[in-house]
Amino acid sequence: MKKVSLLAPGPTPVPPRTLLAMAQPLIHHRSSDFLDIFGQVREGLKKLFKTENDVLVFCSSGTGAMESAVANLLSPGDKAIAIRGGKFGERWTELLEAYGCQAVNLDVEWGYAVKPADVAALLKQDPSIKAVYVQALETSTGVSHPIKELAQVTKDTGAVLVVDAVSALGAYDIPTDEWGLDVVLSGSQKALMLPPGLAFASIGPKALEMMKTSKCPKYYFSWAKELKNQGINKGTFTSPVTLFMGLLDIFELIEEMGLDNIYRETEIKSKAFKAAMAALGLSLYSKENASVGLTAVEAPEGIDGQDVVGWLKNKYAIFIAGGQAQAKGKIFRVAHMGYISEFDTLQGISAIEMALAGLGYKFDMGAGVAAAQKIFGEA
């Protein structure tokens, strides 16, 4: 059996020490011991999100947190801007329509970031718009949207800014309170180095006020219920105890390493990988604001990006991601976030070179690895 290597943008590898933390004997989710763990998790999340807001925890994927941010803020018929610069931006439209809300779609060419001025123009044109939904990092394209600038746009309007940071939180700095972000969402299986299963929602004062008038149906993802119960360190429903234990260990790991050091290491891995792709003659799919969290690479002409993904999986048990929707077959995507080391990155680059050579692409073998090694050596 081959050793599996995860270089896809989620799930990402879990540190062995964290796996051991989650292997502790199970405790009851209503016990006093777990209430103490829940309290520690709540405080740890505030530090991670850099906020004084309550950060709610749900047992779900990140999409659950996204759904909660529609169900708890809006009423049927309300208008909201969905910034659609990729597959996950399109998910906002799907969620808005599922709850009977009106999606004001702001379509952004894939590979590019939204222009804050375009959002400002829509809000000025229609002051009844209640919310702006955006990705911090559009995982399908590798583009980071300018959420700090968007917060300045929404600040003095009646609209709240909702940021999907599922792929971004922990990969680079997102100071929630400093930037005035109304709602920030994330998940456990990416830069936070845990298995899938936890979703998070930081809820600011403006969003709390809007929540009070929301008439969309809600049950499992009710912010009001969770604010009440998590305020006394317990979930409304059964909490995933083992994931909470793992999250406490991740907080310890982050404390030991330092968030700024983690951001720097992620940036270096990203820079090295991008230099490697350039040395192979490959272009980034992200034409502006290319994220440090992951890299989307255009497959060479005549080669299907899915074949590169398949080659790595079948021959080397290395998992990267392909393109989605209109980018399917055109790109492949590699993560730099979380528990991925320099040598994991070099191994991935080497495997990509082997795959491209096997698929008939002509280049100087080893050029990508050498370019990345130079970046790592100078860091």
Question: To which residue do tokens 């505030």 refer?
Answer: 46
**CA-based nearest residue to 262, from 12, 37, 5:** 12
Alpha-carbon distance 369 to 341, whole Å?
14
Alpha-carbon distance 186 to 322, whole Å?
22
Residue 290 DSSP symbol: B
333 is in an annotated binding site: yes
Question: How many Cβ atoms from other residues are within 10 Å of residue 155's Cβ?
Answer: 13
Question: To which residue do tokens 């393109």 refer?
Answer: 323
Q: Which long-range contacts (CB under 8 A, 24 or more apart) does 265-269 make?
A: 266/171, 266/172, 266/191, 266/292, 266/293, 266/336, 266/337, 267/172, 267/292, 268/342, 268/375, 268/376, 268/379, 269/336, 269/340, 269/342, 269/345
Residues in the chain: 379
Alpha-carbon distance 81 to 126, whole Å?
11
Specify binding-site residues: 333
Specify binding-site residues for substrate: 333
